[in-house]
């Protein structure tokens, strides 16, 4: 069910924390994204927090001083745990109650007592380290961009996307243990590769390491086994979204995906951003879900008036690359692409509804990947394989270096934000991952 707009979306609302009022701030009072964190260089327990401007608010500590009661108090206590699964599982009424209590206490017109309770629980973002925000029981990665699928098919010499792409949101089961937070460093993966013109595979570090620009979708309330989730109720099962880099070894992938799905090409690293932007914060940025009139109509369980009218979300997404030369010369990273999540062929609600339609029981804290986000223009490609045309047209960086795939020492930075006339800009922070040399 789509979130209605309310006072927390008021573009004129300002916080008494002045850094939250900067026009380009990622974390204004209209956002209030969640993470789990602690102070750097301490052995404090991780606990839930929201970002406001350049500060993080320790939610449980604030609740103990603020005299909260009812659902908001219960939700705040759940945020005091090292992961947010219990809070996720409380559902939309609890999420809303806590968000609105936070909004009131952080608003510029908040009473002085509310301000005092908040001030005692703020930590500068520069002084925190984040942990994985949830105990991720399962991770499913989707494949939902028609532009990405079409581009990849052409680069691989295929006649077109699979016959099922326009009928079902395609997905595979991913690896939880290698999901890491922004700042993740991982060694280049190795595996079997079939080199062009060869008749036998070799074992080698990947020669075609790529990134994939995606969003992560956190399940809030789950569903009982055997009980599907209706499309128009699917959004109420989603707590929020983060940035997600689905690192991919294209050469390993090409050989192993015959006939099953990704395995070693995908399971070595997935990098997510620490902050989760809630579905309520994203409500102003909903758009109709575009689908060509000539395409087959989805089956009834994947189709509704509400999903057609507001299934898409206009989230601006950017990919940047920082090489060792950037760091040595203290140069700004090179922007590789800029696109929007509104271009996805399948909506978040459709992914969730399809995942559960066979009776699969989703659980609080499960993570879904949206699939690579690519737009209609080349500059909107969500993977380097697309941008560099599979090595035929390397990308030139602002250092003069060229890239067809990700090299050792390269860092990929994903950034995201929403902006729209008449509403406050909100941001996702960033997801950063860096490739280290292979160990073989």
Residue numbering of the annotated binding site for substrate: 143, 253, 372
Catalytic center residues? 148
Whole-angstrom CA distances from 370 to 106, 227, 233, 344, 378 are 32, 23, 18, 9, 20
Whole-angstrom CA distances from 135 to 82, 90, 184 are 9, 15, 18
Could you list the residues known to form a binding site for Ca(2+), using ranges.
141, 212, 214, 246
409: which DSSP letter?
A: T
**All residues at 6 or more sequence positions from 183 whose CB lies less than 8 Å from its CB, including other chains:** 432, 433
CB 342 within 8 A of CB 312: yes
Could you list the residues known to form a binding site, using ranges.
141, 143, 212, 214, 246, 253, 266, 270, 372
**CA–CA dist 78, 83 (Å, integer):** 9
Residue 132 CB neighbour total at 10 angstroms = 20
119: helix, strand or coil: helix
| DSSP strands (E only) in 175-302 | 179-181, 184-187, 190-193, 202-205, 209-210, 213-219, 238-245, 248-249, 270-272, 277-278, 286-287
123: helix, strand or coil: strand
**CA–CA dist 169, 148 (Å, integer):** 14
Burial bucket for residue 399 (CB in 10 Å: 0-12, 13-18, 19+): middle
**CA–CA dist 7, 351 (Å, integer):** 29
- Give the CA radius of gyration of the chain: 22
Nearest to 32 by CA among 418, 427, 414, 365: 427
Could you list the residues known to form a binding site for Mg(2+), using ranges.
246, 266, 270
CB 120 within 8 A of CB 71: no
């Amino acid at each position: 069910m789509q979130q209605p707009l309310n006072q927390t979306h008021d573009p004129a609302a300002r916080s008494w924390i002045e850094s939250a009022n900067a026009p380009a701030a990622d974390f204004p009072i209209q956002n209030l994204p969640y993470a789990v964190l602690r102070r750097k260089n301490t052995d404090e327990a991780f606990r839930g927090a929201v970002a406001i401007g350049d500060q993080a608010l320790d939610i449980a500590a604030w609740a103990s001083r603020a005299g909260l009661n009812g659902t908001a108090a219960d939700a705040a206590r759940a945020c005091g745990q090292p992961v947010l699964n219990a809070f996720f599982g409380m559902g939309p009424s609890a999420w809303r109650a806590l968000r609105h209590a936070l909004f009131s206490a952080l608003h510029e017109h908040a009473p002085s007592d509310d301000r005092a309770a908040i001030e005692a629980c703020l930590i500068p973002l520069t002084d925190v380290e984040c942990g994985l925000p949830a105990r991720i029981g399962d991770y499913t990665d989707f494949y939902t961009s028609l532009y990405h699928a079409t581009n990849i098919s052409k680069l691989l010499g295929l006649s077109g996307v699979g016959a099922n792409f326009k009928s079902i949101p395609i997905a595979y089961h991913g690896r939880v243990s290698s999901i890491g937070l922004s700042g993740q460093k991982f060694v280049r993966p190795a595996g079997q590769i079939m080199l062009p013109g060869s008749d036998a595979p070799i074992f080698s570090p990947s020669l075609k390491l790529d990134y994939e620009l995606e969003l992560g979708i956190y399940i809030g309330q789950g569903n009982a086994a055997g009980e599907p989730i209706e499309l128009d109720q699917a959004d109420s099962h989603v707590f929020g979204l983060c940035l997600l880099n689905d690192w991919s070894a294209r050469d390993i992938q090409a050989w192993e995906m015959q006939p099953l799905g990704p395995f070693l090409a995908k399971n070595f690293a997935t990098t997510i951003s620490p902050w989760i932007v809630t579905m309520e914060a994203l409500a102003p940025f909903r758009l109709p879900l575009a689908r060509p009139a000539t395409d087959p109509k989805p089956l009834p369980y994947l189709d509704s008036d509400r999903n057609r009218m507001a299934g898409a979300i206009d989230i601006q997404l950017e990919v940047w690359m920082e090489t060792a030369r950037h760091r040595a010369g203290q140069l700004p990273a090179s922007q590789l692409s800029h696109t929007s999540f509104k271009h996805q062929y399948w909506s978040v609600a459709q992914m969730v509804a399809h995942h559960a339609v066979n009776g699969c029981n989703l659980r609080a804290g499960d993570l879904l990947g949206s699939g690579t986000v690519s737009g209609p223009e080349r500059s909107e490609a969500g993977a380097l394989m697309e941008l560099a045309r599979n090595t035929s047209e390397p990308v030139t960086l602002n250092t003069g270096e060229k890239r067809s795939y990700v090299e050792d020492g390269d860092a990929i930075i994903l950034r995201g934000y929403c902006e729209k006339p008449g509403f406050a800009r909100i941001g996702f922070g960033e997801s950063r991952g860096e490739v280290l040399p292979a160990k073989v």
